[in-house]
Amino acid sequence: MTNYKEELKARILEERAAINLIKITSDLSFERSIELTIFRNQLIDKRSSEILNLHEYARLL
């Protein structure tokens, strides 16, 4: 049960970080016309799960 709670807490922190990145990406795009990409995937208009999947892909390379 403890392991489940720890994994859930870690996942929630990852989701919050991805949501924060979405906000930063949107701000940079709309205010300064800067586009962020990961492996040729623009981060604008991405869901947090998509960003986390791209990050996992990058980590495994």
* Residues 44 and 35: beta-carbon distance below 8 Å: yes
Look at residue 15 in the predicted model and tell me its pLDDT.
96
Which residue range is the domain that position 30 belongs to?
Answer: 2-60
> Half-sphere exposure (CA, 13 Å, Cβ side) for 35?
9
Grouping H, G, I as helix, E, B as strand and the rest as coil, residue 36 is: coil
Q: What are phi and psi of 37, to 5 degrees?
A: -135, 155
- pTM score of the predicted model: 0.84
Distance from C-alpha of 55 to C-alpha of 8, rounded to nearest angstrom: 18
Q: What confidence tens digit (pLDDT) does each residue in 1-59 have?
A: 679 999 999 999 999 999 999 999 999 999 999 999 988 999 999 999 999 999 999 88
Number of domains, the chain: 1
